[in-house]
Structure 1
Amino acid sequence: MGAQKKGATRFSEDPEELARVPLQAILLADSFTTKFRPITLDRPKVLLPLVNVPMINYTLAWLESAGVEEVIVFCCAHSKQVINYLESSEWFSHPNFSVMTIESHNSISAGDALRLIYERNVIQGDFVLISGDTVSNMSLTQVLKEHKERKKKDSNAIMTMIIKRSKSSSIIQQSRLGTDELFMAIDPNTKQLLYYEDKADHSKGAICLDKLLLTDNPSISLHNDKQDCYIDICSPEVLSLFTDNFDYQHLRRHFVKGLLVDDIMGYKVFTHEIHSNYAARIDNFRSYGSISKDIIQRWTYPFVPDVKFFGNSAIKLERQGMYRASDVVQSRSAEVGSFTVIGNGTRIGNNTKISNSVVGEGCTIGSNVSIEGSYIWDNVIIEDGCKLMHSIVCDGVVIKSGAVLDPGVVLSFKVIIGQQFVVPSYSKVSLFQQPTKQDSDEELEYADNSSGIVENSSMADTVDKSNGQLTSELLDEECGPTYELGTGGVGYIWSICEGSHEEEWRHSIAPIPADKLAEAMQTTDDDLELLTQDGSVLPPSGELKPDSNYSDDNEDPRDVSIYFEKEVEATFLRAVHENIKEDNVILEVNSLRLSYNKLFTDCAGAIFYSLMKLALETPHSSPSELCNSTMDVVTKWKKLLKSYLTDIDEQIEVIQKFEEICLESAKEFSPLFSKILFHLYDKDLIQEDAILKWDDEKKNADEADKVFVKQSEKFIQWLREAPEEDDEEEDEEE
């Protein structure tokens, strides 16, 4: 992966910077939260498997592909595990890409981490700031260029945040990632961030805006439809600001919001919105499940299961989004459904059904087992007759025969579930007792200062840290009665803390209950108001200008269609340039269709547009060459287009899309309309009935709308007469 550097070019012509500075990144290998407990009492979050690959590998692979040359990995919780993993991986020997680690045992926040990095004096210029739980495939070229050019004009422009427009309503996006609703105010002209607040930070029902925002800015766009990707381009001043302000702990709640209200220093934060690329952070169990699905459905290409990147074993993509390693042993009567990954050395018994799940390496799954929407890690044993629904099962777990995991269950490392035992929904089970006090000597995980969450259990001393095995003392004395997890069960069920019941379903990988989703949507629709400090009501989204009258217009559906077409085009172009098979492209387009709630007719139009655009961009010097190029493109990608042309409506959509292209975006095709239409017919992509129905629909249209019908008049006449000639020939033969 390392030879080609897509984003490493530095965008400065200043004489003092002619000596090239390598592009650096700071990767925080600690989230400083406890959302992944009890799993992270054993293993750091960044080393947890994400579709059978350690999470940090996705972040490092993207940084390398995006042109970053030096990565400083800050390690805190379980720092030795992270350092040992990196030192034994290919990352430490990778050419043109260096990884160094900084270890800390007493940092409890991102602010502490950045202050320590500043003291080490390892950052030489602008840098990428990211955490090791982020997955992306975006290019950094444009955002780096914008950041550099901005900084030249305004030395106070010290940070650029990557954001992405949600594909769906804000509440659906929250339910997908388990995040709080985010509100931003952005200058639509300069892209400067003026206001940032998530719903967790304000009282229910109202957000107050300083009226000076309207006074000081010609226009403001208010948004609750943006996703914070938690990828930042930072100038070195960011590190010094953390050093000068020790109350800066959290990157967003303290640092960003602090800059936005600081009138003295005048530092500015800007945004860069991505559209067709992917970027998301794994913040909780729900986003872990959602991003796993995105990887399986190939939104994150090239970081997908069947493309080798560091730490990823060879695996093959089969039909309907099913990935399987070559040495899987599967009974003939077992059924492995779509969007499922099965790792190396796993054995699957008779009549077992697995769907929408990830199974790791070396697992043994018995007969008559049902696994749906679950994530099974390595070396797990699931005996006969078990049922798992939307659960996470860590390494070395044993689930005895007939046991049931209800939705939302998390089983930490080496837990044993007894026979016929039903683990209740949202339960977390661990060999560690639930923490009740802080042990400052051997903290296994660090929490946010303000969380008030107790740190770790004193049971840490009973774990053999060299190999992760529990000592006999722990098994004999520390584990509770076996009936807590059924006959033969070993481990503790953690109780749900008072006041956190809502977080259980919000952050779980289990589907959100219908009543909870309806309640959340009702709250979002009815309760929210945006207020200025004097109590004036502002709209929840859209553009505002001083003294303007606001009208609550719904979003133009054409905007959604444009986003959809752009994403289909990006998917198609990746297939062209990277020789991706048509079956895989169909899989990705189907994922887009579901995400945007589109029809097959929309897919047909978008794919046809992508084909025609590719043909137009192929070098040509005459209409005949353009026509030949178009025919070549259509012929090569016939299978892809035909997949979405199964009925007349879809075929008519393509004809109408071609009309639109000829009239608006690519008028070079206008004189070639009838020739290309005939080619589509000749290749059995557009049927005779579709062309004749299109002609019939144009009978009463305005003359301006009949341009291409008239151009195709001879061809249409031939189609209408051809059946009569065929009938006459048949009569003569009789």
Structure 2
Amino acid sequence: MASYSPSDGDLKAVLFADFFSDKLRPPCTDGTFCEALLPIVNVSLLQYQLEALLQAEVKDCVIICREHIKETLAKFVKTLNFDMNLHFLTNSQWLVAGDAIRELDSRGDWRPQSDFILIFPGAFFTFNLLDVVKEHRARRERSKSWVLTSCFGLRSISSSCDIARLENGQIIQYSYDRKDKIVIPGITTLTEYSSRVEIFSSLEDCGIDICAPEVLVEFRENFDYDNIRDFIRGKIDGGEGELLGNQIYGHILSGSADFACRITNMESYFYVCFAFIHRWSYPWTVERFPFKTTKYEYRRGPKYIASSCSLAWSSYIGRCTVLGENTRIDENAVIVHSVIGDNVTIGPNCHIKDSIIWSHSILKSNVRVVGSLIADNVVLNDDCEISEGCIVDSFVVVKAKSHIPHHSRIILREHPYRKETMDERVLLERMGSFNMESNLFDRNEKETTIQDESKHHCIQWQEETHKAEEDDESSIDELEEIERNESEDIAIEEDREAAELGMTPDSLAFKSSSSFSPPTERNLVRQEIKDTFQRALEEQHSPETAVLELNALKLALDVTSSHILRVIFPLLLNKLDVQEGLTQQQVTQQWILFVRHWSGVLIKFCMHSSDGMWLLKYWKEYCERLPNYRKYFSFLVQLLYDCDVLSEDWIIDWVSEEDKLNGQAVLIQQLKPFVDWLLEAEETSSENEDSISSRMEDMNQ
């Protein structure tokens, strides 16, 4: 790997602090607030970005934003005291990001003269950028044709794309936001490439690029480029890459510490916040961060409580919760799986679940908030209820006993920080001009004006809720839910404790059928385990390696072996195909090879009788739903017994229980000959033990 040379000069970065659109509005309705100031667990996104650039040894950074928010950002960065030269590039005439890049090219004093880092708006990342820069420069030393290195994550969160690249990493196809297409259009025409082509589907476009200065020249000469992705598509789709010899490298982030995501909507914002709490962004964690001045106490759960936080003795703090500095929690308040900002007051008997509350907000008594975002300086008066999927913008005061319906947005008609009051008609037109594909909701035709006790006039939109299509695997999902409730999972226990403190079962349940469903703690944990094991299956890891990865997750996420089993077993079943054209003997031979290979993983996590009972019940339900698998029901049970995954006692006890419920069931009848054999073997073993014992007694006499 090439090292830096003096000719390289100081590494520079260009950071977009502005979306140049209304993607995240609200809560970014105020003209002086931008997306770079979004708090990620009580620390602004811009702070994380600048810290990552510092670790990459960046000395100069140009921050690009629209003119009306420059003053706010300039005041904010002065408080950070970063050892970095920061410059603000603004212009009131810009319409798209490409305009800003073209102006940067015209500024000789700030224009990068060597390779530089380009950070898209909303990019959150914790991996080491310096390594990526060094690899890019090493490629540039071999060939100047490598003009761009683009970073992609394996898990798509908000900016999904498909790419095809050659064995040397060169991107030859790029398709943005086409989740319904697994095979990239046009890939069959690439037969002229002699080397192997790799296709990656549903990657996360992290919004992080390493650019050569030639990229700025390309924007100068092509005014139809609105952003850097237009440049990539222009080079690939237009054939300019081959004509001019330009090459674009696709860097795939595959390491366990390579966390990156681009915040483009509220769903991805919630994801990043709770992923940070779950420590998926390690080595950056809530309690260990280079510039953070707030001291957090880490508690098992995980829970992070600032040292200056005041907690009433009767309050309850559940799992995956962060309480900010100088926050006060009053008597009998319950907070579960939520982020509470600095200087927030939570009154008595308040219940907060799956929500994010920004700084300086006040919740008075008996307030309920479920699955919602409460911005800064909000006041929720007594007995308010904020239903799931809601957004309450800054400085809104909600009157007492108000019920905000599901998936509503509330913003002020007259904002304290706006220089001029916005007319309601203009505001409606502005809200109606959202890019709905990347925004949170579709606005309904009904608008209502709310007058509350604080003389603030608010405009509320109630969003249309779309009933989700029923999943073909609903019965299995119900079975998993029942079994999870019966397990010894810590999260379930803590939710039950919360219920004992006054929360009803309905308020504990979080089921959203809308397009915006803030991820619950359980869903996030299950998804992380699922992705890890799915990757092990696809990349053909050894069972030993898979066990190590799952055990690491078990410790990091603080879950049980039973929890992991309930995620990995369905994935294994999905790999057991019943292909047409194969005989039953051929199918069983394939199953034997596959199950024996992965049996070691199941043995590690199927440790208790309750696990074995769940596994048998799940397999039975699976066969009842899929008729093609029914004739293999008994075969797989016997195979799992032979591989020491299931014990004979578990099988016998489970069949006995099922026999009492429905002894005539076809699948139970299919399994009975095997159970009879187990019982006979157990009796024979018992007789042999008695015989041996009697002979030993005779010998002793």
TM range (shorter): 0.5 to 0.7
Q: Which residue of 1 aligns with 2:212?
A: 235
Structure 1 position 360, deviation (Å)? 0.9
**RMSD over equivalenced CA pairs, Å:** 4.5
Q: What residue ranges of structure 1 are gaps of 5+ in the alignment?
A: 1-8, 167-172, 454-478, 515-541, 543-553, 572-584, 601-643, 651-692, 698-734
Structure 1 residue aligned with 2:90, among 92, 103, 118?
103
- Is residue 341–residue 358 contact of structure 1 (8 Å, CA) maintained in 2? yes
State the partner residue of 1:260.
236
CA–CA distance in 2 between the matches of 1:157 and 1:486? 61
State the one-letter code of the partner of 1:586. L
Report the alpha carbon displacement of residue 489 of structure 1 after superposing the two structures with TM.
7.1
- Aligned residue number for residue 505 of structure 2: none
Check 1:561–1:138 CA distance in 2 against 1; reply closer, same or farther (3 A cut): farther
Structure 2 distance, partners of 1:64, 1:592, is 39
State whether structure 2 residue 518 is matched by structure 1 residue 509: yes
Answer whether contact 1:568 1:589 (CA < 8 A) is retained.
Answer: no
Deviations 1:567-603 (Å, cap 9, x if unpaired)?
977x9xxxxxxxxxxxxx9345759997997679xxx
Q: Report how far residue 402 of structure 1 moved.
A: 1.4
Indicate yes or no: 2:117 matched with 1:125.
no
Q: Which has the higher contact order (CA 8 A, sep 6+)?
A: 1
Structure 1 length as normaliser, TM-score? 0.60
Aligned with 2:27 (options 39, 48, 72): 39
Contact 1:427 1:493 in 2 (8 A): yes
Normalising by structure 2, report the TM-score: 0.63
Correspondence for 1:331: 312
Q: Write out per-residue CA displacement over residues 106-155 of structure 1, whole angstroms, 9 at most, x where no aligned residue.
A: 22222112111111132121111113532222123432232122223332
Match of 2:162 among 183, 191, 196: 183
Check whether the contact 1:109–1:448 (CA below 8 A) recurs between aligned residues. Answer: no
Distance 2:545 2:340 in 1: 37
The residue number in structure 1 matching 2:351 is 370
The SS at the match of 2:376 is coil
Match of 1:194 in 2: 172
Paired residue secondary structure (1:115)? helix
Identity within the alignment, %: 24
In the alignment, is the contact (CA less than 8 A) between 1:389 and 1:405 conserved in 2? yes
AA aligned opposite 1:58: Y
The count of aligned residue pairs is: 503
In structure 1, C-alpha distance between the alignment counterparts of 2:154 and 2:320, rounded to whole Å: 25
Find the aligned partners of 2:215 and 2:372 in 1 and give their Cα distance. 40
In the alignment, is residue 84 of structure 1 matched against residue 75 of structure 2? yes
Indicate if the aligned counterparts of 1:32 and 1:110 stay in contact, CA closer than 8 A: yes
**Offset at residue 46 of structure 1 (A):** 0.7
**Partner SS for 2:148:** strand
In 2, the alpha carbon distance for the partners of 1:592 and 1:130 equals 40
Q: Distance in 2 between matches of 1:23 and 1:104?
A: 25
Corresponding letter in the other structure for 2:16 = L
Residues 489-541 of structure 1: per-residue CA shift (max 9 Å, x gap) = 741113659999999943553669x9xxxxxxxxxxxxxxxxxxxxxxxxxxx
Asked if 1:156 corresponds to 2:145, the answer is yes
Q: Distance in 1 between matches of 2:432 and 2:61?
A: 23
- Report the 3-state secondary structure (helix = DSSP H, G, I; strand = E; otherwise coil) of the residue aligned with 2:185: strand
Q: 1:560 to 1:421 in 2, by over 3 A?
A: farther
Distance 1:115 1:314 in 2: 43
- 1:617-656 matches, within 5 Å, as none
Q: Could you give the per-residue CA deviations for residues 133-188 of structure 1, whole angstroms, max 9, x where no partner exists?
A: 3222212343223212222333221111112222xxxxxx5xxx3x364221122x
2:221 to 241, 244, 259: 244
Distance verdict in 2 for CA 1:564–1:125, change over 3 Å:
farther
C-alpha distance after superposition, 1:12-64 (max 9, x if no partner): 6xxxx643511111111112231211221211111121101111001111111
Kindly provide the CA deviation profile for residues 237-264 of structure 1, in whole angstroms up to 9, marking residues without a partner as x.
1111111111101322x22111112323
Instruction: Determine the structure 2 residue equivalent to 1:269.
Output: 248
Is 2:52–2:128's contact at 8 Å kept on the other side of the alignment? no
Q: Distance in 2 between matches of 1:68 and 1:265?
A: 30
CA deviations on 1:644-698 (whole Å, 9 max, x unpaired) are 9999789xxxxxxxxxxxxxxxxxxxxxxxxxxxxxxxxxxxxxxxxxx99x99x
**Counterpart residue type for residue 380 of structure 1:** S
Tell me how far apart the structure 1 counterparts of residues 324 and 51 of structure 2 sit (CA, whole Å).
21
Q: Structure 2 vs 1, CA of residues 228 and 204 (structure 1 numbering), >3 Å: closer, same or farther?
A: closer
Amino acid at match of 1:558: H
Pair 1:215 & 2:224 matched:
no
Between the aligned partners of 1:647 and 1:499, the Cα distance in structure 2 is: 39
Aligned residue type for 2:403: V
Check conservation: 1:44, 1:81, Cα contact below 8 A.
Answer: no
User: Is contact 1:434-1:494 (8 Å) kept?
Assistant: no
Secondary structure of the corresponding residue to residue 58 of structure 2: coil
Structure 1 partner of 2:131: 142
1:317 corresponding residue in structure 2: 298
Letter in 2 for 1:244: E
CA change 1:591–1:241 in 2 (3 A) is farther
> What's 1:655 paired with?
none
Contact 2:24 / 2:439 at 8 angstroms: preserved in 1? no
Tell me how far apart the structure 2 counterparts of residues 20 and 363 of structure 1 sit (CA, whole Å): 47
Shift of 1:206: 8.4
Please report how far the alpha carbon of residue 439 of structure 1 lies from its aligned counterpart in structure 2 after TM superposition.
Answer: 12
Q: Alignment partner of 1:62: what SS?
A: helix
For 2:12, the aligned partner's letter is Q
Q: Pick closer, same or farther for the CA change 1:44–1:53 going to 2, 3 Å.
A: same
Aligned to 1:558: 541
Offset, 1:437: 4.2
Confirm or deny: 8 A CA contact 1:351 1:369 kept in the other structure: yes
Counterparts of 1:383-394 in structure 2, within 5 Å, are 383-394=364-375
1:85 CA drift (Å)? 1.0
Q: Deviations over 1:346-376 (max 9, x none)?
A: 1112211101101111111111111001111
Q: 1:586 aligns with which of 555, 573, 580?
A: 555
CA distance in 2, matches of 1:190, 1:403: 58
Contact 2:36 2:121 (C-alpha < 8 Å) held by counterparts: yes
The 3 A distance-change label for structure 1 pair 261 and 250 is same
The whole-number CA distance in structure 1 between the counterparts of 2:403 and 2:287 is 35
How far did 1:332 drift?
1.1
1:11 matched to 2:3: yes
Residue 41 of structure 1: SS of its match in structure 2? coil
In the alignment, the residues of structure 2 paired with residue 557 and residue 239 of structure 1 have an alpha-carbon distance, to the nearest angstrom, of 42
Residue identity opposite 1:105 in structure 2: S
Distance, in Å, in 1 between the alignment partners of 2:37 and 2:161 is 28
Query: Which of 372, 394, 413 is 1:413 aligned to?
Result: 394
* Cα distance change on mapping 1:450 and 1:280 into 2, 3 Å: closer
Instruction: Tell whether the 8 Å contact from 2:173 to 2:184 is kept in structure 1 after alignment.
Output: no
Distance 1:126 1:158, change over 3 A: same
Contact 2:98/2:225, CA 8 A, preserved across alignment: yes
State the SS of the aligned residue for 2:191.
Answer: helix
Give unpaired runs (5+ residues) of structure 2.
Answer: 414-421, 441-446, 470-511, 524-534, 570-602, 610-643, 649-701
Letter in 2 for 1:555: E
Native 8 Å contact 1:416 1:490 kept in 2:
no
Describe the SS at the equivalent of 1:214.
coil
CA distance in structure 2 between the aligned counterparts of 1:406 and 1:248, rounded to whole angstroms: 42
Deviation track 1:321-353 (CA, whole Å, cap 9, x = no partner) reads: 111111222111110011101011111122111
CA distance in 1, matches of 2:46, 2:60: 15
Tell me the amino acid that sits aligned with residue 11 of structure 1: S
| 35, 54, 75: which one aligns with 1:64 | 54
Counterpart for residue 458 of structure 2: 491
CA distance in 2, matches of 1:237, 1:591: 52
